[in-house]
A and B are shown apart, each in its own frame.
Chain A
């Protein structure tokens, strides 16, 4: 079954800890994205990658880091520097950057900082 898989679905973290969210796709897509979804604020772009071994900051990259060592994988690390990390995180991919605007989304990961 092709698609995007995010894990874990729910994650709890203590303040001061880093946490890594996984995103894997088997769609053979070149571009991958991480969005943060907060109530009343829609989706905000954290990082994106148009090709393996390359990525760029989005609108709210501070306190986050990513890597793109494989085409299929684009993990997001929420570091202790992120001031308000409790949120719902969505990973997405597209066949090419922009790709006529069609992104394919994962089911999301909900991070709660205790």
Chain B
């Protein structure tokens, strides 16, 4: 069965510091991975997907199949990055999303 693990419930960094939110997955097939973000008082929304190899709001994430990881990174954190971040895996014939438990990121001034 598929599984997504986010080991850090809470993560705090100072503004301007690099940030890395960890995500590991377990899946027997070819993984499709995503990061979702929920800012305070806003809806949960898609941040980026690995297949697009895109950088959104300065965030990037690289799929590492050897380490079964999909860590989210940003070189210089901003206060507006403070939010709850969820890693998600698309799997199965029904193509469902399985979410990790989330990491609450706080960027301190």
Contact = CB atoms under 8 A, between A and B. Distances in A.
Interface of A: 33, 35, 40-45, 48, 50, 56, 58, 90, 92, 97-107
Contacts of B100: 42
A105 B43 contact: yes
B101 A41 contact: yes
B28 interface: no
B49 A97 contact: no
Contact of B43 (A35, A44, A99, A107): A107
A107 B38 CA distance: 11
B102 A42 contact: yes
Contacts, number: 52
B20 interface: no
A88 B90 CA distance: 22
Give the contact-size bracket for chain B: 20 to 34
Interface string B18-57: 0000000000000010100000000111100101000000
Nearest to A56: B94
9 contacts: A35-B99, A42-B86, A45-B98, A48-B96, A56-B94, A97-B95, A99-B95, A100-B51, A106-B43
B65 interface: no
Given A40-B9, A43-B86, A103 B97 contact: yes
B43 A101 contact: no
A55 to B, nearest CB: 11
Find the residue from A33, A42, A45, A101 having the highest chain B CB count within 10 A: A101
A16 B40 CA distance: 33
A73 to B, nearest CB: 19
B88 interface: yes
